[in-house]
Structures are given as C-alpha cells and as structure tokens.
Amino acid sequence: MCVANGQRKSSFWKRIEQSYNTKKCSDWPPRTLRSLGGRWDFIKEQVGKFAGHHRQIQLEHRSGDAPCDEVGAGIVRYNTLEKRPFAVALIAGLFSRKNRSGWTC
C-alpha cells in the first residue's frame, strides 16, 4: 500500500504495528507500538555506528579486499570499539551490495 509521506508519526507507527503483527510468524508474540519503536531505535543506533566503522575501513583502501571483506572488518572494528557487540549482522550484508557490482560474497 502506498501512503503519502505527509502522514503523522502516530499513523505511520500504527501501520507498522498492524503490518508486523499480520505478517509475523505465528510462534512469535505480537509486538506493541512501544516495543516496535524500541526495536527500531536499537537497530538505528547500531546501524549508524556500524556505517561509521565501515566507512573508515573503506577509506583505508585495503588492497585486494572485496566488499564482503570490508563488511567483516567493519564488524570486527565495531565489536572492538563499542561497548556492545554488533547484533544486526543481517543488515551489514546490505553494505557490501550498496553501490557495488560484480561481487558476490
């Protein structure tokens, strides 16, 4: 469903809650608006920090590194420098595909 981007924050998150609870596995408990928002905040913080670490790895221009090597090095750097380990590694795989072609990891 396409919705205009002028919607209110509460309408947006209500749609997210309804969509999540409709599409989730039946074994999983339903999530409230508050729990979904908290999960999003956690993911957003970790991905933002990871993006910074990943960018630093890219700027080092390591010879022979494939994009998946850069992602792995970014996760290692994140886990070394941050208080909590990187917990959303599935998202990190998107970084190796961003603006790249010809590589498969």
pLDDT tens, 6-23? 678 888 889 999 999 999
5 occurs within a structural domain: no
Whole-angstrom CA distances from 99 to 1, 49, 62, 65, 86 are 27, 19, 17, 15, 23
pLDDT digits (tens, 9 = 90+) for 73-92: 999 999 999 999 998 877 76
Decide: 71 and 54 in contact? Cβ < 8 Å. Answer: yes
32 occurs within a structural domain: no
pLDDT digits (tens, 9 = 90+) for 94-103: 665 554 444 4
Say how many domains are in the chain. 1
Rounded-to-integer distance, Cα 96 and Cα 78, Å:
16
Q: Which domain holds residue 78?
A: 40-105
Q: Looking at residue 78, what is its pLDDT?
A: 93
Phi, psi angle pair for 26, to nearest 5°: -65, -20
95 occurs within a structural domain: yes
Inform me whether the pLDDT recorded for 29 exceeds 50: yes
